[in-house]
Amino acid sequence: MSKPNKKPVRLHLKVKGRVQGVYYRAWTQETAQNLGLTGWTRNLADGSVEIMAEGPRDVLETFLNQCYQGPVRAQVKEILSSWEKPQSKSQTFEIRYGA
């Protein structure tokens, strides 16, 4: 049995569907903080939500799976994801406003 990978990585997400006006960013922030992740989330002009999260890959995989559900009123249709090198600039997970 292999050990979980605890090396930090960055997960970049673009969440599409009914994800604005349904508290998706606030839900994302709370979920990320509960998992001990750092990063940010923001609304995009095309109606999607962008998320940049950093932490251990196994925790980020859990986070990604939860993002498909989102808050009660959200309707996630698609999530585009990419794995990147961590930049570790943030100590928190914040909601950003504007592009």
pTM of the predicted model as reported, rounded to 2 decimal places? 0.91
Residue 29 belongs to some domain of the structure: yes
Q: 57-67 and 24-35 are packed helices; what angle lies between their axes, rounded to 10 degrees? A: 150
| Host domain of residue 15 | 8-82
Residue 93 belongs to some domain of the structure: no
- Say which of 18, 25, 57, 96 is annotated catalytic: 25
Residue 78 belongs to some domain of the structure: yes
Domain harbouring 38, CATH code: 3.30.70.100
Predicted pLDDT of residue 4: 58
Residue 63 belongs to some domain of the structure: yes
pLDDT tens digit string along 60-70?
999 999 999 99
Residue 94 belongs to some domain of the structure: no
Predicted pLDDT of residue 60: 97
Number of domains in the chain: 1
Alpha-carbon 43 to chain mean position: 12
Predicted pLDDT of residue 95: 96
Residue 37 belongs to some domain of the structure: yes
- Say which of 42, 43, 57, 73 is annotated catalytic: 43
Residue 1 belongs to some domain of the structure: no
Q: Is 34 a catalytic residue?
A: no
Residue 45 belongs to some domain of the structure: yes
